Structure 1
Amino acid sequence: MGDVHGDLNAFRHATATERFVIQLGDLVDHGPDSAGVLELMIDLIDTRRGLFILGNHDRKLGRALEGRRLRRDPPLEETLRQLSDPEYDTLRQRAYEEIAGAPVWVRLGNSLFVHGGFHTAMLSLPPMTGLGDMSAPLSRALFGETTGRMQPDGYPERRLSWINRIPEGMTVYVGHDRRSTDGRPWRRTGRLGGTAVFTDLGAGKGGHLAWIDINDP
């Protein structure tokens, strides 16, 4: 399941299933109800019906809840405002605990689930958590691969050369990077024969929430 970004209504609809849910990160920010999305995700975890991969927005929220000094932005400020309501005291602590312990990637057979992009170290390293110091695999997992330049919309320019390093027979499911032009998850096969599937369709940002049913990972 792709980025949710606070779109609680879409998240409720998408999780009304008997299937186990793997959400690919960025639960919070932008949409109207990040607190509600966190509540629902925690319920999925508690009932053993789902997990989430750490996204860059989730990581930023976790570090803010730790009290770290970081650059604030309006979407993060709104999420923190929602969580500051006294009725969410327990949720705030639990959300931090789940974010702190969330895996940065998960591999199941020939399927790999990660928020931003693939790094070959993910084939040999065990899944890590993401609130600590940055490393090359962690940066790739959270942010994908960038050129170092900024786009006119203010976001970093991204490139997709990491797709060419996915081994043949492997499928990497990512969010983060909105590539689709037809309202469906976008697929691309690299030089080695591996495939990347981009599931971010803009939920919470004027688009919609995407998910894919996988029968045999």
Structure 2
Amino acid sequence: MSTTDAGIKTITLTEDELDPYITHTATRRWLAGPGLPDDGGLLTFEALRTDGPRTVADSTGDPDLLAEDLRDLLVIGALLGGPADAETESVLLDGATGEVSTTYFFHDRPDLMDRRPLAPSLQALTEFVAATEEMAARRGRFASYEGRFGPKAVAAMSQQLLAVFEEGTGGEIPPFWRMAALIRPLALVAGPPADETLTLDLPDRLLDQEFGQGRVVRFEDVD
């Protein structure tokens, strides 16, 4: 592991650690140079930091049942989600092409495992993570959204985040990032509550506009 001038910890590998698992030139260069973020809210690369590159075949009980295109892929991390940011799908790297995908591990039934695209390269993956974190913190390319709330701000932020993903994938955005661009900006719908007793301060008529006035039920405070 190394630390950048900005104090950000990254995971890098030596040439000896890259061999013989990773032959893709750009991927080798990225892992030996900029590396991968050590910590984040979307993904963890703890598996790569602690164990180094290891194949899917080495991580399952019966590799003979694995699909051929899964066996030599490298387990480098996991997606985070659910309670307490628990690990969900494992993040896989193709050492020959540099493509990144995900899979659910079924250790008892590896024949049921398949993979889903996540990013065309580690560089693109790092860029997607950075853009999503900038969006959540309203900094960097999303700094102009500081203090802006409501449906218009959500729509604009969602489109801007989608544009980052489209550029990095040639328009073929994997479902994980498409959902991130549609769901994560929703935090901008509600601004900080003017009344400290409120959890959210929704814009006027937001619920009526989204669901229809006849489907919104209001209760008196006494109820």
* TM-score using structure 1 length: 0.27
Q: Which has the larger radius of gyration?
A: 2
> Could you say which structure has the higher helix fraction?
2
Structure with more relative contact order (C-alpha pairs < 8 Å, separation 6 or more): 1
